[in-house]
Structure 1
Amino acid sequence: MSLRPGSLRMGLMGGACALLLTGTAVSAQEQVDSRPGGPGRVAITIYNQDIALVEDVRDLNIPEGRSRQEFPGVSASIRPETVGLSGRGLSVVEQNFDYDLLTPDKLMQSAVGDTIGIVRINPGTGRETTERAQVLAANEGVVLRIGDRIEVLRDDGVPTRVIFDEVPANLRPRPTLSVTLDAEGGGRRETTLSYLTSGLSWKADYVAQYDEAGGSLDLTGWITITNRSGATFTEASTRVVAGEVNLVSGGGYYGGGRSGNGTQFSDGAEGIADYYIYPLPGRVTVANNQNKQVGLLDVANVPASKRYLFQMGGFSTYEQAQSAEVAVLFQNGRASGVSQALPAGVVRVYVRDAGGEPRFIGEDEIGHTPAGSDIAITTGDAFDVTVQPRLVSNERVAPRILNTERSRYRMEYTVRNARSEPVVVEVRQTGLGRDTEIQDQSIQGEMRDARTIVWRVPVPANGQTVLTATIETGG
């Protein structure tokens, strides 16, 4: 007989693996309800940081006194220290999380030192022969003692199957949480198991179809849930939380869950503990190792406009003209029809060409945005709309306060437009000091804040506009 290493997997997978299970007695003080069922209903609340709160509701028949209840189908990435169990007249004595899953390899490894059955079938005659064998090792291959000979279980084309007398108690067909309970009275009752798990995450993505001529856009939003937790959540009531929760050393503080004093918004989003919670429509089945997309919003004819922006800090001359930044502007207020807070995500903008085909023009990322906010989606730079600043003069002026410096800058901004239609370019001058004054300007501007001046500069088609300003500011 030839011996080949590495035959464990081939020997087991090449034939059927049969199990002969033997029963074990359970004392009256420690009864086990090991029904294979999963939760009656489940709710998941998914946060931004690869963490989720699972609420697992099951109807269990629990005997009076102490018993051990098993909860198969929990997440393989459960954080056992976060488990909570509630139910009428129940107290928890201890809990165990068994995550060593039943596989042919692990079954064979657990049989080392024990005796198993080896069944071989003669391909020519179809005759079956069964021998008892002691498993000596299951490392890179399976080494057996059969009578007075040593064999390696191998894949040599002869149909072979292995018979095990029982499944080891430490191996489970799926991740299982077992909880020892002390119950006041027996009978069927509803229990709620809650825990934190890693392996669940979500993100938001948006598609904006922008109609520049019509001054509007159609906005579609999607929530993408990624499940790598090791469990499938079937028909789950699902919510996602916008906002960063504080996590400490692998544990967690989370601002969500079913209870708490929250604020309900007209759009269905709930505000709680400084976070937004978005309930997804209907119940969602999220399979393990799956990306699931669920619609968040779908709104048409949202008022929108295009903005050309040039911003510079400090006062200097640019030798080359600079392209203006292009953005699409809209608001998520009631008047726009969006009327809801938007979770952070990427917005991809499309426009239709002359033939009516959508063309991608750029994307931008937005943060968590409260309802009623002005939103600017930067799509790129306009090569045909440019601004060229020039520092005309710079002089010191008398300070108003002792031990301070004050300067007067004369600036010139040449704004050019090579497009066939007129545009308005927003020019922002930042980097201002204290007590800024605009002493002279060719176009009326405004102080956006203490350090920013903004001008809206109209530029004719295929033309240019020169903006001049004298700015006095403190150091």
Structure 2
Amino acid sequence: MGRSRTRQWQTRIPRDLRHAVLSRAMRWALSILAIGALFSAPTAAREIVEASAPQDVSVTVYRNPDRSADEAMERDWPQGFAMISEARTVTLPAGQSTIRFEGVAEGMVAVSAIVTGLPGGTIEKNRNADLLSPAALLDGTLGNRVRITRTNPGTGVETTESGVVRTRADGGLVLQTRDGYEAVRCSGVPERLSFDRVPDGLSSKPIFSIDTQDEAGGTYQVTLTYLAWGFDWEAHYVATLKDESARGAVTMRLMSWLTLLNDNGQGFPNAELLAIAGTLNVESDFEGLSDPPTARPLRLTCYPLGSTAAGTPIYRYENQNDKFAGGMVRRQSAPAPVMMESMSDIVVTGAALSQPAMVAKEEQLGDLKLYRIPEKVDVSANSLKQVAFLNKENVSGEFIYTARCNPYGDFGDALSPAQMVFETVNDEEHGLGVAMPMGGFTMFEPTIAGELLVNEQSLRDHAVGQDVEIGLGDSSAVFSECAQDGDIDPDAKRNWIPMRAKLSNANEHAVTVRLAIGQAGEWEIRTGRNKPRLKNGEQTVELTVPANDTRDFRWKLRRPKSYFSAE
């Protein structure tokens, strides 16, 4: 009975259906096995590709955006940055690979880096944190064999054996040799290590790497562009007076130099060099983002030698720099990179103002100014470079004298020296007509003893069309004294206050004195025929003082109604 039921159940399932079910089950099992094999198989390592050396380089330097006109560039700690663009060649295999760009700036802001020209784009980008150094070399050899050579201090004979590095470089150096474990360079015997090769990934130059993918492989021209910290630039103007008329009008030759600073340990030979002038709004902390790689020193930790019977040595301090005597040597910090001679202060005299070999060309870049060096130059590591960007033979202007008055002072026994100012207009009519970025200003005057320095000053940014005023210090020949000609409280009522200024000129020619007689909006002024002119927020009058003579000037002022209503 059982057999017939079994036979009857089997006859109810068609043979085609049984095959279909079994086939589907087999396919499902094979799929599971394939997926398991996929996850269990190790990921194929990316092939490392070395990019070629830069074939074309562009360095665009931005000055410190927080530096004011009267601040000099910090040559020991520059706060500007640069945009660096390098054209390189890479040959990629089929599939995924890692491209290494060796020799990037140590101040590279890695998050700003962009690589163009790759068919597969960028999958991931990295920057090495270690440079080739004793500590990095030791850490990269951990668990591998090295050779240790010892020198017998008595005979000078060297013996060499191999050992396996068993510790990292941050606490001591221990090797495993045939005699067991031993601390290296702790016995006082001269010892040195020899390595067969440099561990993978270590380089004496900073490296930036990216992961990419190319289905077919091939050779490509790529461009690496990034921002880098540790650059800056400043301008300096050198003026040489030519002649001066009896009325104070002068003509001078004006030349300006761009001084560009690269504080990185990497140079950029045969580079296109540009400088950007103007005020940028920079929110990012480029200094913190740059995080330059370091060459870590080897730190050895050794147990003290000798015995307790010898006592504890007493160390003597030779000076405040913690340099120990008594056989103990203070650990010296790594010396700073040797700077080129150009890092010392640069003094430009009139004798050096011959025609420059090349002059930077000015271009417009939005609201900024771009100065392009016409020829490719070497931007050396840890160095300064000077390039002329302005060379004007005949800049016309005039010397005037300025004085300031207020109703709160009294006439005294001594006159105050007037301020001497050189004035011109930044336009072609006056021999200029170019943007003038902020920087230092040095003026020389020809004498029978040669060209002598007469003034040093700072200059703010000046756009085309703006008035240019350069203060030259106190005059030794023009003086002024100013006070109210009465005894009235200027802030008590709206009374007119009589004012008087006394001006004297000891020059052999007449001079112009610009007298500031009240802040605009704070005083109402009556000057008679000499109508005041608004200049830099002050009401001023210009007065001519004859040679070897004096001049008095009188006017009235009072507070406006708005002054009392505000109270």
Q: TM-score range by the shorter chain?
A: 0.7 to 0.9
Partner of 2:432: 338
Matched, 1:41 2:56: yes
Matched, 1:231 2:266: yes
Q: Which amino acid aligns with 1:46?
A: V
Q: CA deviation at 1:183?
A: 2.8
1:323–1:80 CA distance, 2 compared to 1 (3 A) = same
Matched, 1:69 2:99: yes
1:448–1:372 CA distance, 2 compared to 1 (3 A) = same
Q: Which amino acid aligns with 1:426?
A: R
Matched, 1:164 2:195: yes
**Partner Cα distance (2:92, 2:170) in 1:** 42
- SS in structure 2 at match of 1:79: strand
Contact kept? 1:438, 1:472, Cα under 8 Å: no
**Partner Cα distance (1:295, 1:166) in 2:** 48
- SS in structure 1 at match of 2:136: helix
Contact kept? 1:223, 1:295, Cα under 8 Å: yes
**Partner Cα distance (2:130, 2:432) in 1:** 48
Matched, 1:419 2:507: yes
Q: CA deviation at 1:381?
A: 0.7
- SS in structure 2 at match of 1:445: coil
Q: Which amino acid aligns with 1:200?
A: F
Choose from 550, 553, 561 the match for 1:467. 553
Choose from 82, 103, 127 the match for 2:112. 82
**Partner Cα distance (2:203, 2:128) in 1:** 7
Note the alpha carbon deviations across 1:18-42, whole angstroms, 9 max, x for none: xxxxxxxxx976222125x421111
1:119–1:220 CA distance, 2 compared to 1 (3 A) = same
Q: CA deviation at 1:466?
A: 0.7
**Partner Cα distance (1:313, 1:188) in 2:** 76
Contact kept? 1:107, 1:168, Cα under 8 Å: yes
Contact kept? 2:361, 2:389, Cα under 8 Å: no
**Partner Cα distance (1:144, 1:419) in 2:** 86
Choose from 29, 48, 70 the match for 1:32. 48
**Partner Cα distance (1:450, 1:247) in 2:** 29
- In structure 2, list runs of 5 or more residues that go unmatched: 1-42, 65-79, 288-359
**Partner Cα distance (2:421, 2:523) in 1:** 31
- In structure 1, list runs of 5 or more residues that go unmatched: 1-26, 253-266, 398-403
Choose from 75, 82, 92 the match for 2:122. 92
**Partner Cα distance (2:187, 2:451) in 1:** 57
Matched, 1:436 2:524: yes
1:114–1:89 CA distance, 2 compared to 1 (3 A) = closer
1:352-367 alignment, distance < 5 Å: 352-355=446-449, 357-367=450-460
Contact kept? 2:519, 2:539, Cα under 8 Å: no
Contact kept? 1:46, 1:239, Cα under 8 Å: yes
Q: CA deviation at 1:373?
A: 2.5
Q: Which amino acid aligns with 2:422?
A: V
Note the alpha carbon deviations across 1:87-124, whole angstroms, 9 max, x for none: 15231000110141102343235445643102357799
1:295–1:140 CA distance, 2 compared to 1 (3 A) = farther
Bigger drift between 57-66 and 67-76 goes to 57-66
Q: CA deviation at 1:208?
A: 0.8
Q: Which amino acid aligns with 2:92?
A: I
**Partner Cα distance (1:450, 1:218) in 2:** 27
Q: Which amino acid aligns with 1:284?
A: V
Contact kept? 2:533, 2:541, Cα under 8 Å: no
Partner of 1:281: 374
1:47-446 alignment, distance < 5 Å: 47-49=62-64, 50-108=80-138, 110-111=140-141, 114-120=144-150, 129-135=159-165, 138=169, 142=173, 144=175, 146-148=177-179, 150=182, 152-153=184-185, 161-183=192-214, 185-213=216-244, 215-250=250-285, 268-313=361-406, 316-319=409-412, 320-355=414-449, 357-393=450-486, 406-433=494-521, 436-440=524-528, 444-446=530-532
Partner of 2:350: none
- SS in structure 1 at match of 2:430: coil
Contact kept? 2:361, 2:374, Cα under 8 Å: no
- SS in structure 1 at match of 2:259: strand
Aligned residues: 425
Q: Which amino acid aligns with 2:46?
A: E
Root-mean-square deviation (Å): 3.2
**Partner Cα distance (2:260, 2:539) in 1:** 43
Bigger drift between 180-189 and 338-347 goes to 180-189
Contact kept? 1:445, 1:456, Cα under 8 Å: no
Contact kept? 2:254, 2:391, Cα under 8 Å: yes
**Partner Cα distance (1:305, 1:107) in 2:** 67
Q: Which amino acid aligns with 1:186?
A: G
**Partner Cα distance (1:457, 1:67) in 2:** 78
1:314–1:53 CA distance, 2 compared to 1 (3 A) = farther
Q: Which amino acid aligns with 1:339?
A: G
Contact kept? 1:216, 1:302, Cα under 8 Å: yes
1:458–1:193 CA distance, 2 compared to 1 (3 A) = same
**Partner Cα distance (2:128, 2:153) in 1:** 41
- SS in structure 2 at match of 1:108: helix
1:439–1:371 CA distance, 2 compared to 1 (3 A) = closer
Q: Which amino acid aligns with 1:191?
A: V
Partner of 1:17: none
Note the alpha carbon deviations across 1:305-345, whole angstroms, 9 max, x for none: 21211124555435342211112223332233333111111
Q: CA deviation at 1:233?
A: 1.5
- SS in structure 1 at match of 2:544: strand
Q: CA deviation at 1:198?
A: 0.6
Contact kept? 1:396, 1:408, Cα under 8 Å: no
- SS in structure 2 at match of 1:70: strand
Bigger drift between 340-349 and 313-322 goes to 313-322
**Partner Cα distance (1:154, 1:133) in 2:** 16
Q: CA deviation at 1:155?
A: 11
Q: Which amino acid aligns with 2:546?
A: P
**Partner Cα distance (1:302, 1:154) in 2:** 72
